[in-house]
Amino acid sequence: MKGIVTLVFVSSNFFLHCKPNETFDPKEYKVVKEAYQSGHLTVVQVILKERKKERELSFEERKLFMKSLFYLSEWKDFFNEWKDLKEKTPELVLYYFKAINLSNENQQVNVSEEQSLVELMPISPEACLVYLQWKKNVRKPSQIKLFRTQIKQFKTLLDRMEKELDHNL
């Protein structure tokens, strides 16, 4: 009986130590982030796919995973990840709409996703461009006037930024 108890204890202890790591490790994330920044997108994608099988990815890992899918043009996987994403940051919203524009896949965009893009438009020229590419039919004079006004505002901000840089040099 004592041998059976010892065997059960040793076996359970072995399986507990062989269990995949279920917690976020900042050192592992740093390695993946550096691989991403170095342009090793396929490596990042493979590593994070494997981690995803073991545990739920952290938000930062998921962002890197989605960016790698985007830049590798893995549209199906990108859109599947988007559906499961809980927190949709402005950066990821831009990636999502760019993916729609680039993939030519018919994606159902819900109202909150479109609203997220519209909210970015006053502060991001890129968001304006992505919106125009996505809609493809901005014909109302009031819409065109609004976008032209936005262009002037962005140019003014760029001029101010250039002056500020010149002043600081």
Tell me the average pLDDT across 137-164: 88
Ramachandran region of residue 82, left (φ > 0), alpha (ψ -120 to 50) or beta? alpha
Query: What does the block give as tokens for 13?
Result: 């202890």
Tell me the residue type at 123. Answer: I
Summarised one tens digit per residue, pLDDT across range 24-56 is 788 889 999 999 999 999 999 999 999 999 999
Q: Is the pLDDT of residue 16 over 60?
A: no
Q: Does the global pTM surpass 0.85?
A: no
- Please report how the helices 90-103 and 75-84 are oriented relative to each other, as an axis angle in degrees rounded to 10: 140
pLDDT reported for residue 11: 39
